[in-house]
Amino acid sequence: MRRFRQDETVDFLIVGSGAAGGVMAQELAQAGFTVLVLEQGPRLEAADFEHDEYKYFWQSSLNNRSDLQPTMFRAGPDEDFRRQQAVVYHRLVGGGSVMFTSNYWRFKPIDFNEASAMGTVPGTGLVDWPITYEELEPYYTKAEWDLGVSGTPGPFDPPRSRGYPTPPLPVKSGGVVFERGARALGLNPQPAPMAIISQAYKGRPGCLHCGYCSGFGCEHRAKSSTLFTTIPVAEATGRCEIRTGAYVRKVEIDRAGRTTGAVYFDQDKVERFQAARAVVLCANGAETPRLLLMSKSNQFADGLANSSGLVGKYLQFNGNASTSGVFEREMNNWKSVMVTRMIWDYYDTDPRRGFYGGGGIDSRFWGFPLFFATGGLPPGSPTWGHEFKRLLRHNYPRSMNADVHTTSLPVESNRIDLDPEGVDDWGLPMMRVTYKDHDDDLAIMKFLVDKAVEIMDAAGAVETWKPESLQQFVGYHLLGTCRMGNDATSSIVDKYHRTHDVRNLFICDGSSLVTGGRGQPTCTIQALAYRASEHIARFARRSEI
């Protein structure tokens, strides 16, 4: 791997090495440019990942920690802020692409023009994207084939120019009963597209079904994270360095209004400056707007690239809820990948339902032992003693979940901004999060939660249950906060991910999304990264940066 001198000016400085940053690094380095990636977290190799849920979930050893990087939260603009962890993202080379469940859904054409096709929703910022599905389709294909995805086209798939590089992962028992129940209701279940390869692909082995995907790194390298795919390719060019332990606090601007690089804290909390000819922010939909807001200057008094005043606004978490079922016979859903079957029958907004929104339902199992012991039994179950233990033992191999993943309307008051007083462990302003699900978001979640339970009941579940509350107060999908658009007064970046305000500053991550799709954004974030890097490289070659 290339090591740049501290005083060396690189062509591109990328902030964040996750789903988008890892792709951007490969594409720009392969295009012949020098690339330095600054990553907050450490670099782990496959052998470093453990099956230790307490370490990763309870201790937050690889995500933002609420003691070091605290956040303030309020459930809507009328409430007071309180200190609470409101966003979760992963801090390591590869970022969320290392730790995510690996659902890899494309968006569909309607996701890009829903406002004009279906009509706007009063009081929201639902608008069309500046690009179409057709424009992005080649990059979806590129992402799937470059990274490695398993699946097979289903009845509601968007048009695709090519199939999947590896076949679907083997169905689990939860997938079998889900499929049975869905078909009994006249629905159309299909294998879930997953960014986990089902057989050897591009030098990596197929999945060995350890069962530790969601929230864990893959010790077999079968999960197609940027850590195991694009980042090694980027480094092999000899033009890319991944610098870890680097926490960026400010994007610097010169008198001409061009970025000159970024100031960051190194792993010893020593402040350093890295010069670059252009900067690309891929820091996720929460940290990217926070960094812009922290990068105030005389020229950009309200934060960098924020002439519209919209940096941090239109935050979307996607809707998510988990329903549960217990079946008669043993399913052992704790084995293998989280998800093997899903439905997209309710993907589109249906005006007859009386509200905006749609989504999908998948069969899965939150079956890590401590997870199950602390929350896997039905409501009202004993919480200790012989019957508690008997139920744990009986239900564990017979349980499954059906999770729903839905739209979030872009609402301007849902936002990321800076706390005026509190600071994090580096002395930087704490992130504040304001988030309240729109009534239509809650309505589509409830609609699909009821459908999920119906599916399990139709499949012969002995017992099913669903969550009592659907309102969300912590976000894992961090979307929409620096949205794309053609109009500089209503968006942050243009259709090529260049900020409207700073010619050599680009943004590509979850913040770029105009709408959040139906709950699985990673595939689209990465397709955007492939597309954006192609355009950015073209601009650079033509000296148009």
Partner 1 sequence: MSLHPTRRDFLALGGASAITVWLGTDPRAFKRALDATRSAAEGHPVQFEVLTAEQAEDLEAIAAQIIPSDDDVPGAREAKAIVFIDRSLASFASGQLDQILEGLAELNGRVVARGGEATRFAQLRADDQVTLLIEIEDTPFFWRVRSSTLVGTFAHPNWGGNHEGTGYEILGFDPRFIWQPPFGEYDAEVRG
Chain residues 442-501 in contact with partner 1, contact rule CB under 8 A: 465-469, 472-476
Looking at this protein, which amino acid is placed at residue 225?
S
Single residue of 1, 57, 145, 156 touching partner 1 by CB under 8 A = 57
Whether 458 and 185 have beta carbons less than 8 Å apart is answered as: yes
Single residue of 212, 264, 347, 506 touching partner 1 by CB under 8 A = 212
Nearest distance from C-beta of residue 480 to partner 1, angstroms: 17
Single residue of 3, 352, 386, 542 touching partner 1 by CB under 8 A = 386
Half-sphere exposure in the Cβ direction for 349 (13 Å, CA): 23
Tokens 């990059």, residue located:
139
Report the residue number, 78 or 468, with the smaller CB distance to partner 1: 468
Q: Are strands 71-74 and 429-434 parallel, antiparallel or unpaired?
A: parallel
Report the residue number, 182 or 310, with the smaller CB distance to partner 1: 182
Helices and strands (H, E) in the chain, number of each type: 13, 17
Q: Which of residues 393-432 bind partner 1 (CB under 8 A)?
A: 393, 396-397, 401, 403
Q: Determine the interface stretch with partner 1 among 23-31, 61-69, 148-156, 420-428 (rule: CB under 8 A).
A: 61-69
Q: Which of residues 241-300 bind partner 1 (CB under 8 A)?
A: none
Report the residue number, 118 or 391, with the smaller CB distance to partner 1: 391
Half-sphere exposure in the Cβ direction for 344 (13 Å, CA): 19
Report the residue number, 175 or 410, with the smaller CB distance to partner 1: 175
DSSP for 196-220 reads B-SS-BTTBPPP---S--TTS--TT
Whether 435 and 481 have beta carbons less than 8 Å apart is answered as: no
**Which is nearest to 148 in space by CA: 204, 64, 82, 79?**
204
**Which is nearest to 262 in space by CA: 277, 252, 272?**
252
Three-class secondary structure of residue 298 per DSSP:
coil
Report the residue number, 13 or 177, with the smaller CB distance to partner 1: 177
**385 scored as a contact of partner 1 (CB under 8 A):** yes
Single residue of 17, 141, 214, 512 touching partner 1 by CB under 8 A = 214
Contacts with partner 1, 62-101, as mask; x by CB under 8 A: ---xxx----------------xx--x-------------
Angle at 532 between CA 275 and CA 315, to 5 degrees: 90
Tokens 């690309």, residue located:
280
The 8 Å CB, 24+ separation contacts for 119-125 are 121/356, 121/409, 121/438, 121/440, 123/411, 124/409, 124/410, 124/411, 124/438, 125/313, 125/314, 125/410, 125/411, 125/412
Nearest distance from C-beta of residue 202 to partner 1, angstroms: 21
Q: Which of residues 127-186 bind partner 1 (CB under 8 A)?
A: 170-177
Q: Determine the interface stretch with partner 1 among 108-116, 194-202, 375-383, 518-526 (rule: CB under 8 A).
A: 375-383
Nearest distance from C-beta of residue 486 to partner 1, angstroms: 33
Nearest distance from C-beta of residue 215 to partner 1, angstroms: 7
Contacts with partner 1, 321-360, as mask; x by CB under 8 A: xx-x--x-xxxxxxxx------------------------
Report the residue number, 71 or 512, with the smaller CB distance to partner 1: 71
Report the residue number, 104 or 317, with the smaller CB distance to partner 1: 317
User: CA dist 220 to 201, 204, 249, 377, 410, Å?
Assistant: 12, 8, 35, 31, 38
Nearest distance from C-beta of residue 206 to partner 1, angstroms: 11
Report the residue number, 82 or 538, with the smaller CB distance to partner 1: 82
Report the residue number, 40 or 237, with the smaller CB distance to partner 1: 40
Site for partner 1 (CB under 8 A): how many residues? 80
Q: Can you say whether the dihedral through the CA atoms of 254, 260, 261, 264 is positive or negative?
A: negative
Report the residue number, 236 or 373, with the smaller CB distance to partner 1: 373
Whether 314 and 412 have beta carbons less than 8 Å apart is answered as: yes
